[in-house]
A and B are shown apart, each in its own frame.
Chain A
């Protein structure tokens, strides 16, 4: 059933369009940098300035650019639609009568959403890498600490960064899945999920609530940058992974409790 669900999810025009748009964002930015002849001022997103020297950095810049809005938007759409979308079509009742099993259905849906969370940043990074290496010279990767890495080692770290971005999205995905079990209207679940990202972002900028900052969903999202140091510091990365795992556990359990007990009237 998982294989069928994955084929179903990634076979949807909507999901394909999301991935294409995610790929187009870094392509657009890199092309713009190329056309304008340089990165301009020094206070753009991280890694943007290094693209002109080394196209490989376009992959990292792509992740940085899409992480605040585009990736969460895509994940919210896919996760929020997971159960609520089936409910709004009426197919939820037929899946349950089939019987797919409520826990099993939720598990399969969750795994499909996880697959999307992983696939999306890889698509973004790959698009950045390809367009960056076509338009700019490619060379050994200079770390944030100033050393250089071989291209192979750099590629591994970039893949690692994409993977960590994927992990960063899992907490959000769990919230989206939970929201999706609450309603029969997918757009409601999607909006609620996006609302959580925005709320976390806003709270993160308010110093008066700094006490809760370490626990915000978005708090460790940029920790993947630590992978680009000569000697990778794992503290922030580990903390983010643990935080995301916590969100997944809490909201995954809530989604399970909700779906296995609710009356399906749609």
Chain B
């Protein structure tokens, strides 16, 4: 390859700006009149495991495509590892591993041959170490035995694993993984989760899009939530969860009586025939418990629940099941 040397510029390992692995400024993408991504200001701290959440059609994948320079922003800016995309893609991308919108490989080649081809297609893929790196990557995702099978014979979970192997062929500073556990069995999901933890422990920043909230809750340190192209919230997982008020739940047979006590304290209670729950809104749960008992409510259980990520997510994005657009 002698023709286009400029795109193969060797990457100096200069530190990137402000400790952010990814930073977007007023990032906007319009298709026609619709702003699929609308003035997004995303800040992914270096070293974090960052969960990128949002209902289907909220603009997650479009954002990821802009991060990687596959599509150009209509407005705003993307900084990937301190470099403006897509202009300086040749400097940033060799240090980024990505899985975008599912794996894609050549069906007529084996898993190993596919990895060989993708590794040979870009810079920093030393041919001398290629074999070893491929074997290592296959081993990390549990595909060693299936490496010589043709890709078209792979199940969805195996394809996903090969996609991950491809992202792990070289050491990366940042991994951008779009729904990495899609189609995987529970064991696979768990292995991937452990893999992500391992990578993060090595100092790799992991940007993870998923709609499996339990997944995100288990591995992520930071979270951003998108809906209808807008960023609803971002920050550390703990901060996001503590923003939502805790809920007290009392299990009782005297539902009416309990509702009355809760209502008298100015809280709006919800109930079924065995329990009453209400957002605490700053009131001390121990006082409420005492009041309930003093009012003669027969309490069989009392609990204060931190909202799960799912509750936070739903409270941010709304209950509706229909795809927003």
Query: Which residues of chain A have a CB within 8 Å of any CB of chain B?
Result: 1-2, 4, 8, 12-13, 89-91, 93-105, 107-108, 261, 263-265
Contact A107 B3 (CB under 8 A): yes
Stretch of B18-26, B49-57, B104-112, B131-139 on the interface side: B104-112
B4 at the interface (CB under 8 A from A): yes
Stretch of B63-71, B192-200, B228-236, B262-270 on the interface side: B63-71
Q: How far is the CA of A265 from the CA of B65 in the complex (A)?
A: 8
B184 at the interface (CB under 8 A from A): no
Which residues 87-116 of B have a CB within 8 angstroms of A?
89-90, 93-94, 96, 98, 100-108, 116
Q: A1-B1, A97-B100 are in contact. List 19 more A-B contacts (CB 8 A).
A: A1-B121, A91-B105, A93-B104, A94-B104, A94-B118, A96-B68, A97-B69, A98-B121, A99-B7, A99-B94, A100-B121, A101-B4, A103-B3, A103-B7, A107-B1, A263-B65, A263-B71, A265-B70, A265-B71
Contact A103 B4 (CB under 8 A): yes
- 19 A-B contacts (beta carbon < 8 Å): A4-B116, A4-B117, A4-B120, A4-B121, A89-B106, A89-B107, A90-B101, A90-B102, A93-B65, A93-B104, A94-B104, A96-B69, A98-B93, A99-B123, A101-B122, A104-B7, A107-B3, A108-B1, A265-B71
Contact B3 A104 (CB under 8 A): yes
Residue among A93, A95, A261 making CB contact with B121, cutoff 8 Å: A95
Which of B90, B108, B117 has the most chain A CB within a 10 Å cutoff?
B117
Contact B93 A93 (CB under 8 A): no
Q: How far is the CA of A96 from the CA of B72 in the complex (A)?
A: 13
Contact A104 B4 (CB under 8 A): yes
Q: How far is the CA of A94 from the CA of B4 in the complex (A)?
A: 19
Chain A proximity of B105: nearest CB distance (Å): 7
Count, A-B residue pairs, CB within 8 A: 91
> Known contacts A4-B120, A95-B121, A264-B71: does B8 contact A101 (CB below 8 Å)?
yes
Contact B166 A94 (CB under 8 A): yes
Q: How far is the CA of A98 from the CA of B1 in the complex (A)?
A: 16
Contact B105 A97 (CB under 8 A): no
Query: Which residues of chain B have a CB within 8 Å of any CB of chain A?
Result: 1, 3-4, 7-8, 65, 68-72, 89-90, 93-94, 96, 98, 100-108, 116-118, 120-123, 166
State the majority secondary structure of interface residues on A.
helix
Q: How far is the CA of A102 from the CA of B7 in the complex (A)?
A: 9
Contact A107 B4 (CB under 8 A): yes
Q: Chain B: which residue is nearest A88 at the CB level?
A: B104
Contact A93 B105 (CB under 8 A): no
Contact A97 B98 (CB under 8 A): yes
Contact B104 A100 (CB under 8 A): no
Which of B4, B96, B166 has the most chain A CB within a 10 Å cutoff?
B4
Chain B proximity of A88: nearest CB distance (Å): 10
Which of A1, A98, A264 has the most chain B CB within a 10 Å cutoff?
A98
Contact B108 A13 (CB under 8 A): yes
Chain B proximity of A109: nearest CB distance (Å): 11
Query: Chain A contacts of B96 at CB under 8 A?
Result: 97
Query: Chain A contacts of B93 at CB under 8 A?
Result: 97-99
Contact A97 B1 (CB under 8 A): no
Query: Chain A contacts of B94 at CB under 8 A?
Result: 99
Query: Chain A contacts of B98 at CB under 8 A?
Result: 94, 97
Chain B proximity of A226: nearest CB distance (Å): 33
Query: Chain B contacts of A97 at CB under 8 A?
Result: 68-70, 93, 96, 98, 100
Q: How far is the CA of A210 from the CA of B18 in the complex (A)?
A: 67
Query: Chain B contacts of A105 at CB under 8 A?
Result: 121
Q: How far is the CA of A93 from the CA of B108 in the complex (A)?
A: 18
Query: Chain B contacts of A263 at CB under 8 A?
Result: 65, 70-72
